[in-house]
Every structure is written in C-alpha cells, then in structure tokens.
C-alpha cells in the first residue's frame, strides 16, 4: 500500500539509510544494529501506517453512517412534527409547545450537511428570523421609494430657494 515514495511513511533520509545498509553496508554489523534490524523496524512502521489508514477508512465509514442516521431521524422528526401540529390545532397548550420546536431543514443530497449533534444549521437560523445569517438576496437591490407624504426637497428647502441659490450657474429656471 505504501510502495510509492510519496505515500511511504518512512522519511527520505531513513529510506536512504536503509538503502545503504542493504547495499554497501550489507556485510557490516554493529552491536544490536544491522541492515536486517533496520528493515524489520521499517516493516513495522509500514504495517502501523496501513493499520492507521484502515482505521481512518473505518472512521470515515462510521461518520457517514452517523450522518445518514441523523438525516433519517431528522426526516422522521419533521413528519412527526407536521402530524402533531395538525393534531394540536384544537389544543392551544400543545400547539404552543409545538410552535416552540424548530427543526432544521434537511440538507440537499450530495451536499455535506452539518452534523445535527448540538449544532443548528445556518438555514434553520435564517428561517427563525435571524437576518445576519440569512443568505444574500440575488439580483439588483430594490429602488428606494420615498415614503407616502414625503417631499422631494429636504426640510426647510423650497424649490424657489433652490432656484435663487443656483441662479447664474447654468441651471435652468423652473417655470
């Protein structure tokens, strides 16, 4: 699994040392040290690295299973909440309790949804009225229209006073 140099858990310097002990220093023996001792230690490192890779793959599979279970629970919870709201239409006390429950919307298929353990996704927060976390609206912003009864000129300024102020500067007089 770790045959290529870029995936090898053994550093390039140690690989170079191992190469020397298997070629030029193959016949040299030091107390408790030889090419075979180094090869055995390198094999142990590679076996441990493969065990880590298998454990990481198992962890990822377990995380995906947890996410799938959480998604299924959320979907069932949304259906249960909808049924309970219909049932509680005639019971104001139960209806109040149900209105206090805000479940997040399910994530789109293929997109990674946030974990439901202790976290409230941004979409649910925006649906609850928090404008700061709401996604930005697309397109051109709406025109700002004057409030009903508002005038075109600021308070205390009349069209006549503006005509007098701009007289002689190339502004056409008003009729």
Q: Following DSSP, what letter does each residue of 101-156 receive, concatenated? A: --PPPPPPTTSPPPP-SS---HHHHHHTT-GGGSPPPPSSPPPP-PPTT--SSPTT
What is d(CA 134, CA 96) in angstroms, rounded to the nearest whole number? 25
Using one digit for the tens of pLDDT, what is the confidence trace for 89-112?
999 999 999 999 999 887 666 545
Q: Report in angstroms the alpha-carbon separations of 9 from 17, 22, 100, 108, 130.
A: 15, 19, 53, 38, 48
The structure's pTM equals 0.47
Using one digit for the tens of pLDDT, what is the confidence trace for 112-158?
544 444 444 444 444 455 566 677 778 887 787 777 777 766 677 77
Mean pLDDT of 39-44: 94
Contacts of 9 (CB under 8 A, 6+ apart): 2, 45, 46, 48, 49
> Are 81 and 101 within 8 A, CB to CB?
yes
């Amino acid at each position: 699994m770790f045959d290529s140099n870029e995936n090898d858990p053994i550093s390039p310097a140690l690989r170079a040392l191992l190469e020397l002990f298997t070629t030029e220093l193959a016949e040299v023996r030091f107390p408790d040290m030889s090419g075979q001792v180094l090869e055995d230690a390198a094999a142990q490192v590679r076996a441990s690295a493969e065990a880590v890779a298998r454990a990481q793959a198992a962890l990822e599979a377990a995380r995906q299973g947890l996410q799938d279970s959480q998604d299924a629970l959320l979907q069932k919870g949304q259906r249960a909440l909808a049924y309970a709201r219909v049932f509680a239409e005639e019971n104001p006390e139960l209806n109040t309790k149900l209105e206090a429950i805000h479940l997040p919307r399910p994530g789109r298929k293929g997109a990674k949804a946030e974990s439901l353990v202790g976290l409230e996704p941004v979409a649910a927060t925006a649906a609850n009225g928090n404008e700061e976390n709401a996604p930005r609206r697309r397109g051109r912003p709406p025109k700002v229209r004057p409030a009903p009864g508002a005038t075109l000129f600021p308070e205390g300024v009349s069209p006549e006073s503006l005509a007098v102020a701009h007289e002689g500067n190339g502004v056409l007089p008003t009729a």
